Amino acid sequence: MKNILVLHTGGTISMQEDTQSGAVAPSLDHPLMDFTEAFKNLAHITTKQPFHLPSPHIRPAEMLTLKNLIEAECKQQSFNGVVITHGTDTLEETAYFLDLTLNIHIPIVITGAMRSSNEIGSDGLYNFISAVRVACCNEAKDKGVLVVLNDEIHAAKNVTKTHASNVSTFQSPQFGPIGLVTKREILFHYKPLYREKYDIEQISKRVALLKAYAGMEADVLDAIDDKKYDGVVIEALGQGNLPPCCLPGLKRLRKANIPIIVVSRCFKGVAQDVYDYQGGGKQLKEMGVIFSNGLNGQKARIKLLIALTKTTNQNKLSQIFQDPVCENED
């Protein structure tokens, strides 16, 4: 039988609904602890609870704690897989953080729930069992951190929370899930082509995330410099354009050598240096703005936080944000 390390970190999957008020709050005892029986024919489970937090309370510091804990536990004992339970609000950020920083070849699976443990149609136990089944699967090795909810397996890099309350909230827009959980099998149909690893020991930089809007002015960008952020990610308009009123703020940030990463605020597609007008992507690139290859804003922020622990050099940061592209397109 496989040995699976389970790390409970909190979130709705660990909460209960007050039947009178309908309010959902953390419960004293983790509800999933009662279900060890459900795993008796599936895996040998070792459980740890490094923290018990709603996921809006999770910071990069907790993500780093999780990474260090997984590495330490896997050094001490021979596990076949790791399952992390987590609140869904920031689950994609923790998943991508671990995807970029863990250098471990066993399956790492992260799951959560949209309905708390005592609500009708609660998806917590079901998703937890699915995640353990995926972590036990040899095919799940070397595919990066996997997000498993609602019978789907998603790559950490592409998955995002798309709905505030629906159980099918986790989707990989444009790419789709890389596998499925069925009653009898775990079926993979894709493997992420390109993976990156950053060996980090600490995370101390501050990176802000801004969303562009019609008529956006430079003062919000000035605040990034005033408040001494180390970098900023901007969800720009369309293919990667910004209102011209922003330009003085961008110039100030570049002068202060604060890296600016641009992603698209669109749900799908890639921001690129296409448009050549005031504030257009081509001009932004000439100013030293870095275009990220298709990440969403919150993932680009995680990547910049990690990249800044390695370098503040503009060219190196720019390379880090470029996935390899096909060189020989005819």
Strand (E) or helix (H) holding 177 = none
Comparison of 125 and 266: residue with beta carbon closer to ligand ASP: 125
Instruction: Answer yes or no: 94 catalytic.
Output: no
Comparison of 11 and 281: residue with beta carbon closer to ligand ASP: 11
DSSP-H helix ranges across 198-313: 219-226, 247-255, 281-286, 297-307
Q: Which of 2, 4, 54, 297 forms a contact with ligand ASP (CB under 6 A)?
A: 54
Indicate whether 149 belongs to the interface with ligand ASP (CB under 6 A).
no
Specify the length of the chain in residues: 330
Choice among 9, 85, 88, 94 that is catalytic = 88
Indicate whether 112 belongs to the interface with ligand ASP (CB under 6 A).
yes
Rounded to whole angstroms, how far apart are CA atoms 216 and 296? Answer: 20
Rounded to whole angstroms, how far apart are CA atoms 322 and 248? Answer: 26
Contact 153, 159 (CB under 8 A): no
Site residue total, ligand ASP (CB under 6 A): 9
Comparison of 89 and 196: residue with beta carbon closer to ligand ASP: 89
Q: Which two tokens stand for residue 145?
A: 């951190």
In 3D space, the residue among 318, 325, 315 whose CA is nearest the CA of residue 304 turns out to be 318
Contact 66, 121 (CB under 8 A): no
Rounded to whole angstroms, how far apart are CA atoms 267 and 82? Answer: 30
Window 69-108: residues binding ligand ASP (CB under 6 A): 87-89
Window 6-45: residues binding ligand ASP (CB under 6 A): 11-12
Min dist CB 27 to ligand ASP, Å, is: 13
* Letter string b/e over residues 302-322, b meaning 16 or more CB atoms within 10 A of that residue's CB: bbbbbbbbeeeeeeebbebbe
Give the bridge partners for 63, in sequence order. Answer: none
Indicate whether 144 belongs to the interface with ligand ASP (CB under 6 A).
no
Contact 54, 86 (CB under 8 A): no
Residue 271: half-sphere exposure toward Cβ, Cα within 13 Å: 30
Instruction: Answer yes or no: 12 catalytic.
Output: yes
Comparison of 11 and 231: residue with beta carbon closer to ligand ASP: 11
Nearest residue to ligand ASP on Cβ basis: 87
Indicate whether 230 belongs to the interface with ligand ASP (CB under 6 A).
no
Window 254-293: residues binding ligand ASP (CB under 6 A): none
Q: Which of 45, 70, 95, 114 forms a contact with ligand ASP (CB under 6 A)?
A: 114
Phi and psi, residue 94, nearest 5°: -65, -40
Comparison of 12 and 264: residue with beta carbon closer to ligand ASP: 12
Rounded to whole angstroms, how far apart are CA atoms 269 and 240? Answer: 10
Choice among 12, 85, 94, 111 that is catalytic = 12
Min dist CB 171 to ligand ASP, Å, is: 15
Comparison of 53 and 104: residue with beta carbon closer to ligand ASP: 53
Active site (catalytic) residues: 12, 88
Contact residues toward ligand ASP (CB under 6 A) are 11-12, 54-55, 87-89, 112, 114
